[in-house]
């Protein structure tokens, strides 16, 4: 189980690195699609069809919009040369990544085995969720009953995003 | 934005209805099968985006469409909040209280208020995605006119 996941993750990392370094922005967008669809395969492999459906649809729509944006603007990436500020930024990022990797490696040792879920709350959800919410699909039951605030927050984020797009584009259109 | 060839137009006409029905299925069966409001809403938006891409923007009056989708989005999220607040006043004082009768697990009309939340949020997500898409297209057309 973990070997297939590792292979897909390696593919996703390669796609992400290529998306960063591609000269042509269209191929960068396509390479970014490798990351999204790889994540779909990961979700399907980990038996999470809900997340896989959402991910595959969102990835497709995002890819369409990104391709439209790239075709309408420029296809070439503008490369900035090395300046002193750049180098300082890179060194700071490297130091932070080192710190994070060290503390993650400390934290991983104290975690449970992959796929083992010892959480008391999760067990209660799985056992009594169908009775308490009346929903056969447990994910929806958790999303709309036990954690309604989370879902309301997500919907609000989408609403705000649409509002922001409208505001920004109207301002530039009127100028 | 110009439309595409007649073949693409015909296929888009035939397919968009099926995609729309599939989106409605995903939204209304959200409490029974995998899927739900977010996935179904984006599939619904996808059927509209397919039509707009195939037919171009001269056929439909975009400004009116944009106003309509923006209005629908606001009304849908308002309805969700009102439904959640109604749960606060009916029964115990809990926001997002599932106060409607639950019915038997596994049937289409069950799970109390959860299907209603699913439908409203599905409409909200679809309208939001369509609004963003229409805003981008209208912006491009306005740029081209000048």
With beta carbons less than 8 A apart as the criterion, state whether A132 and A145 touch.
Answer: yes
- Of A3-17, A50-64, B20-34, B131-145, the poorest mean pLDDT is in B131-145
**Tokens matching residue B38:** 């977010």
**What is the structure's pLDDT at A127?**
77
Q: Which residue of B has its CA nearest to A143?
A: B114
Does residue B59 surpass a pLDDT of 70?
A: no
With beta carbons less than 8 A apart as the criterion, state whether A43 and A8 touch.
Answer: no
Give the pLDDT band of residue A98 (cuts 50, 70, 90): very high
- Of A1-5, A15-19, B93-97, the poorest mean pLDDT is in B93-97
Give the pLDDT band of residue A118 (cuts 50, 70, 90): low
Ranked by mean pLDDT, the top range of A63-72, A115-124, A163-172, B45-54 is B45-54
Q: Which residue, among A72, A136, A142, A150, would best test binding to B if mutated, counting the most B CBs under 10 Å from its CB?
A: A136
Does residue B63 surpass a pLDDT of 90?
A: no
Please judge whether A158 and B124 are an interchain contact, meaning their C-beta atoms are less than 8 angstroms apart. yes
User: Helix-strand-coil percent breakdown of chain B, rounded to 5?
Assistant: 70, 0, 30
Does residue B146 surpass a pLDDT of 70?
A: no
Residue A24 per-residue DSSP state: B
**What is the structure's pLDDT at A117?**
66
**What is the structure's pLDDT at B71?**
86
Q: Closest by alpha carbon to A138, among A153, A154, A127? A: A127
Note the pLDDT tens digit of each residue in A126-156.
777 777 777 777 777 777 777 778 888 888 8
**What is the structure's pLDDT at A167?**
84
pTM exceeds 0.80 for this model: no
**What is the structure's pLDDT at A46?**
85
Candidate from B39, B73, B138 with C-beta closest to A53: B39
- A49 interfaces chain B, CB cutoff of 8 Å: yes
Task: Tell me the pLDDT of chain A averaged across its residues.
Answer: 82
- Cα separation, A130 vs A132, in Å, equals 6
Please judge whether A57 and B43 are an interchain contact, meaning their C-beta atoms are less than 8 angstroms apart. yes
**What is the structure's pLDDT at A52?**
87
Give the pLDDT band of residue A100 (cuts 50, 70, 90): very high
- ipTM for the predicted complex comes to 0.79
Note the pLDDT tens digit of each residue in B4-50.
788 888 888 898 999 999 989 888 887 788 877 888 888 888 898 88
Give the pLDDT band of residue B94 (cuts 50, 70, 90): low
A135 by Cβ neighbours in 10 Å (0-12 / 13-18 / 19+) ranks as: buried
Give the pLDDT band of residue A63 (cuts 50, 70, 90): confident
Closest-CA distance, A50 to chain B, in angstroms, reads: 5
Give the pLDDT band of residue A95 (cuts 50, 70, 90): very high
Does residue B60 surpass a pLDDT of 70?
A: no
Please judge whether B46 and A61 are an interchain contact, meaning their C-beta atoms are less than 8 angstroms apart. yes
């Amino acid at each position: 189980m973990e070997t297939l996941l590792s292979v897909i993750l390696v593919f996703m990392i390669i796609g992400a690195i290529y998306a960063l370094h591609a000269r042509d922005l269209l191929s960068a967008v396509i390479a970014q699609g490798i990351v999204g669809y790889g994540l779909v395969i990961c979700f399907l492999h980990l038996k999470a069809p809900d997340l896989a459906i959402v991910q595959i649809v969102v990835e497709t729509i995002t890819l369409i919009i990104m391709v439209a944006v790239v075709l309408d603007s420029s296809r070439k990436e503008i490369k900035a040369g090395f300046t002193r500020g750049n180098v300082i930024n890179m060194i700071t990022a490297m130091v932070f990544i080192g710190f994070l990797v060290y503390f993650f490696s400390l934290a991983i040792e104290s975690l449970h085995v992959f796929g083992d879920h010892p959480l008391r709350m999760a067990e209660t959800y799985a056992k009594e969720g169908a009775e308490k919410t009346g929903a056969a699909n447990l994910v929806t039951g958790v999303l709309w009953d036990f954690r309604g605030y989370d879902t309301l927050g997500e919907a609000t984020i989408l609403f705000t995003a649409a509002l922001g797009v409208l505001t920004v584009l109207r301002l530039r259109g009127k100028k | 934005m110009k439309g595409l060839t007649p073949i693409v137009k015909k296929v888009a006409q035939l397919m968009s209805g099926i995609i729309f029905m599939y989106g409605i299925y995903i939204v209304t069966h959200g409490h029974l099968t995998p899927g739900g409001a977010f996935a179904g809403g984006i599939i619904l938006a996808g059927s509209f985006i397919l039509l707009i891409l195939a037919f171009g923007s001269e056929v439909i009056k975009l400004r009116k469409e944009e106003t309509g989708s923006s209005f629908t989005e606001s009304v849908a999220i308002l309805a969700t909040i009102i439904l959640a607040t109604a749960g606060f006043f009916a029964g115990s004082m809990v926001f997002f209280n599932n106060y409607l009768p639950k019915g038997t697990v596994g049937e289409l009309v069950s799970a109390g208020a959860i299907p209603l939340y699913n439908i409203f949020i599905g409409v909200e997500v679809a309208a939001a995605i369509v609004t963003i898409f229409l805003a981008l297209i209208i912006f491009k057309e306005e740029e081209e006119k000048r």
